[in-house]
Amino acid sequence: MTSPTTDRAHMTEIDPADLPTLISGHRSALVILTDRPGPEGGTSAGDLVYLRTVSGQIVAAGRVDRVDEFADLTSHDLRLLRETHGARTIGTGSVWSSKPDARFATVVWLKSVRPVVNASGVPAGLLAPTRHAWQSVAPAESPSSRAA
């Protein structure tokens, strides 16, 4: 059952090795580097983010604490961003080197990340296979129970 909510739901992929640091709160930021503003559909504090492995298994969910957006970046700006945010972001240095020409960066800070034991409450719109690193569904499609 779904019910209207002001919070959007999102899905992104993580390396399962990053899960313990997210749950402990030691690392809490997801970095999205793109050549255009993003992530598509917008992300706001309070939104729910599901985390899945590359194989498609949903392993955790957390709430967005805040979102920092950066535009018109240069390679120097990206280096500075990595220096200031790198210690709190998940992933290896490959996150930062994957898009050396990125002009936009979004840092999504998570809180209350918890394992997902039963994925039945995940909105259907997030379960379809996609090539996008970040998926979003409208509030009306979000589950009525707050998973995190």
Q: What is the reported pTM?
A: 0.83
pLDDT in tens, 67-120: 999 999 999 999 999 898 888 888 666 778 888 889 999 999 999 999 998 888
Our CA angle for 12, 89, 70, nearest 5°, is: 80
CA dist., res. 116 & res. 72, Å (int): 36
Say what the pLDDT of residue 124 is.
Answer: 86
Say what the pLDDT of residue 3 is.
Answer: 39
In contact, 7 and 46? CB cutoff 8 Å: yes
Say what the pLDDT of residue 41 is.
Answer: 63
Say what the pLDDT of residue 100 is.
Answer: 85
pLDDT in tens, 25-63: 888 999 988 888 876 668 899 999 999 988 888 999 999
